[in-house]
Amino acid sequence: MAEVILRDLVKTYPGGKNRATDEVSLDVGDGEFMVLLGPSGCGKTTLLRMIAGLELPDAGQVVIGGRDVTYAEPRRRNLSMVFQSYAVFPNKKVRDNIAFGLRMRGVAADEVRRKVDWAADLLQLTPYLDRYPAKLSGGQRQRVAVARAIVMDADVLLMDEPLSNLDALLRLSFRAELKKLVGELGTTTIYVTHDQVEALSLGDRVAVMRDGRIVQCDGPTAVYDEPASEFVGGFLGSPPMNFLTGTVEASDGGPKLDLGGQSLSVPAALSSYAGKTLKLGIRPEAIEVAGGDGALSGELQVLEPLGSSALLTTEVCGQTVKVSAPSTFRADPGGRLSLRLPTDACRWYDPETSLLLEVR
Strands 336-340 and 288-289, sheet pairing: antiparallel
Which residues face 300 on adjacent strands? 314
State how far Cα 107 lies from the chain centre: 37
* Cα four-point dihedral sign 127, 130, 131, 133: positive
Rounded-to-integer distance, Cα 42 and Cα 270, Å: 34
Rounded distance, CA 68 to CA 59, Å?
A: 13
- Mean pLDDT, consecutive 10-residue segments, the chain of 360 residues? 91 81 95 94 93 94 94 91 83 93 90 92 89 88 87 89 78 82 88 92 95 95 96 92 94 88 89 92 94 85 93 95 93 92 93 88
Write down the pTM of the prediction: 0.88
pLDDT of residue 98: 93
Cβ atoms of 174 and 142 closer than 8 Å = yes
Domains and CATH numbers, the chain: 4-227 (3.40.50.300), 242-357 (2.40.50.140)
